[in-house]
Structure 1
Amino acid sequence: MATKEKHLAAAQKFLQKNNLTRAIREYEQIVELDGRDFRSRQKLAELYSQTGEAEKALGQYEQVARYYADHAFYLKAIAVYKQMQKLSPASGEYTLKLARLNEQQGLVGNALAEYRLLLKQHEQAPDLAAAIEVLQAMQRLDPDNSAIGVRIASYCAQLGRQQEAHQAFWAVEQKVSGQGDFKQLQRLYEYFMQLWPQDLAIQTGYGRALLNHGEPLGGVQYLADLHRRHPEAAEVLSALAEGLRRCGEYRQEAACLAKLQQLQPGGLDVCRRQAQALIDAEDFEACFLLLEPQRKAFFAAGEAARIKPFYERLRQEAPENREILEALRAVYEELGEGEKLFDVLSEATAPPTLAAETPADVLDFNSIDFETQSAVGDDSFEDLAFDLVDESAPSAATEFEDLAFDTLDEPAETAPARPAARLDLRAELEEVDFYLQQGLIDEAAQACDRLQQAAPDNDAVRQRLEQIAGRRQRPETATVPGPVTTSSAAPAALPTSAEVPESLPPAGGTAEDLFADLDLSLGDDFQLEAATELADSQRGVQTVIADEDTDSAYNLGIAYKEMGLYDDAIAEFNKAMRDSRHRVASLCLKSACLVEQQQYDAAEEALTRGLSDSGLTLQDRIVLYYETGMLYEACQRYADALASYQVVADKDADFRNVRLKIRELKALVGDTETAAEERVSYL
């Protein structure tokens, strides 16, 4: 019976004669005799591959790869699975194993690259459930990549997994919003508003995005229209109140919050926001009447500190009012602030004047009795002469009058208006120009009308009025109802309640078409937009290896080289060269791979570039000159090879077998001295 050694010798003889069929037979005998000879099994797989027997090759490779993985030779296992992937590129099984092995080794960039290949296969199938699993694995490795989250949300939505879809969307929204990139955020919302045209939370979030990123007026208009379509939606009212505050419309903010209180009675946070709005609007009477019925509720909730500033401000405005002093005393007593309590008690000498009986859950400005009589007369709110706004007079911000909240009806009687402030014509004209730029023609006209009343002969005002008249005469272009969009050009006027549909138009086209609109194609950018703000998210497509991973990249390159996967090996050696510890060795191995591919010019260029590095040590240069000599030998440039070896020998005559190399080459080269003189030395 033939021994294993005899079969190995016979296999080598057949390989030298390029008789692959007979060599395969010998290796089959070897693995049958010794099933744990994985080196021979790997060679058998390579021979099967060369003869086109892919299935047999994959079977042998699988046993080799499993052995390497089970015995913690992970880099060798990666190299084997890479070979299998090339034999069967349509199989996602090997790509998934490669991704997980790379992830296990900390090769994040490589793992993401493999996951991306697998993702493309699932999307083309299409198998969105499997695609989501791949995306979730990618997200674990690259959590800052917003584009991954967008795809997860979109695919979950298409599969009806709405809860997961919304969780993924809001996670992305938070990241993009935190980056302050409104263009990205707007595109994100507009895409998902197509997927979820009836989703009020998404539409409200879009309005908030407008408010928070430099377009508060547009946000208020958008949210006002949304409120008209959904008058009972508390989240819309809350967002609208935020927008009114940003625009300085404190009275309308308070009215909006009053309506919110009617929808959600007893909410202390809404009450606090409403009190702040009334304070900012200098409507101190209404603020006091709002807070008093809720004071004990704030105490019970342990939130006395949140209303203390309001009472302190009321005390500033009415320092002699007993009711305010008594209320503030109760707040200080609740908070245990003894010194302040003593001051208040010493001042609380006048009899009470106001009995705040207004129900807490209904604060309608029309119902507030500003003419409350005082038992004493000197301590009433009426005597404090607050500057109440005359609702019948033109307001400085009438652009919000069309919001028409139920709580903003005009009172039958109002207190005298405050004296008119001095007109700042320049600021008012800038406001008009802003409205014109935003396409808000009606608001611009209202502001100009006010200016014309104050300055009827002003040429600048007259010019704005003529411009407004001209804009109104232009034919209006048809617009598609939907979310407000922004661009470098002046946008069209925001839709009115009659123009905004009950729902946004449904998503159209394929999922890939929609991703293309978001720059989310499967190209190398694979992110929402190639912007510097998302630079950290590009790791997955650029396959960046951190410094601590260069050891793995170097070893993986060696494993690829042993498998004959020279392109993959070169890619790993390029990564390893970023580390000075591996720079020279990786360059030499890269050159060897290029020589195996007979890319001699590329190998010479790589070595020459390496020799030009001023940071090399003398020993590094000796190594590279020796490698250069080997390169020239391989391409039969014997004179250049001799010159390179001579440079090595001049510095270290005992380096490797340089003396033998020189002696052998001298027999092949005629004028050796001339050849050596023509060789440029970087030493």
Structure 2
Amino acid sequence: MSKASQIRQKAQELLQKGHVDKAVQEYRRLITIESKNPNLYNELGDIYLRASDKDQAVQSYEKAAVIYEKVALYNNAVAVCKKILRVNPERTETMAKLAELRAKQKLEGEAASFFAQFVEAVLAGPPSMLSRAHKDVDRIVELMPECEAILAKATELYVQTGMRLRTAEIYSKLAGMAEAAGDANRTAHYRRKLEELKPELSAEETARVAEIEGSRGAAGAPAAAADEGIEAVAGEEAGSGVIEAAPDAAEETGAETAEPPAAEAAAGTPAGETADVEPGAGTEEAAGDESETSAATGGEDADEAHVRDAVEEAEMLAAMSRGREPYDRGLERRKTPVESERRGAREAAAEAAPPPAPPLGESTESRELVEEITSDVEKDDLRSHYDLGMAYLEMGLFTEAIRDFQIASRCADLQLSSMEMIGHCFLKSGEARLAVKQLLRALDIARATGADSLGIHYNLGLAYEMIGEQARAREHFEEVYIVDMAFRDVAEKMKKLAAVS
């Protein structure tokens, strides 16, 4: 057993005896040995909560979230952010970070839901919060430049911060998006918003808006031109003296983290525990609040209602995605039921479009960090090998991921999850035939044990589609469709295959 493992074991024994302060001291020793291990910061945060030291707990959680994000373990970062909000439900920088993390994962519905909560919290807070918030908004808009719900919500904050040109640019872009979608009502709504704002613009700003609108119209609403204009406006207004933004929260605290607060706190999960965290917790309440607001404003026109509906739709999508979200690996190892882990593997395996691979230098740095984090993993610590496989998978290092999933599959509780992930890795690396072999084995186990098999069927459909066996692909997509027609893009797959046949 390594020195780090010995210290951790001693700390756990002290906790069992109720010696919390001494356990904290042991964890501090441990962190001097493994300063880049996010699991240790997360565990230390839990111990601080037991000692009723909320400030230290939040600081530890923030450090954990930063490192998880660095190695692309976004679900772990999300789970830690949710812990922070259970401790401090009003922490807006954490709300923004949740939106950013989900945006990085291309989970548009949840990103929009978390973003809406963040903006509402900022607008309801003291004016000083506005000056710090626009950088967070800029970052999330940049990650989700085509999400109508996020863009529309961003204008609410930009108007309040005096960023008129930025707001006008977004209205122009939204109008172009609505026009491209053939929605005359939405197009008219955003055009009217833009016209209402124009009298407040300077001559130079008005010319800038006209230039971008002209370029969009001339090229058939090119998104790139619009985005360039918006980015330029953001840069100009940020430095124009209208609003002077405070430094990024990441620079101030070392971590930006977030989650929907109220509903998760109401769920009854103690702040110091790692629970089976459901992403988007609280979004149903938020959607309900907005629905009530809409009903109360009986005089609002149809276009205003549509914008509100766009935000609500995003929040509903987030609520629908619950229960199919990847398992927050490594944070819930001791307390999450096996079925939750399998459910998480199913969704991770069902990701049809993984995030783009980082540049070579960044990938190498992340890889080294993952290896350092897991340098003390014992050979028989199968759950840690599963976590390591997930880290490699999320970085696009499929060979390394397969190796660790194969080791983890020796654990009965992890066998099905690991086999799904191995098949997923083969699929992502272009080895469709190997993916089929692996996933068929996983399907046999799922049938024998009565475990959830939607993710396996979906990925078998993808694999057969890749090798040109359309009839078999359709069979597996049908198995998904008859159980959950909203599962990822299975409805589109069915329609496409029906047209081919």
What band does the TM-score fall into relative to the shorter chain? Answer: 0.3 to 0.5
Alignment TM-score, normalising by the size of structure 2: 0.41
Alignment TM-score, normalising by the size of structure 1: 0.32
Structure with greater proportional helix content = 2
Computing the radius of gyration from Cα coordinates, the structure with the larger value is: 1
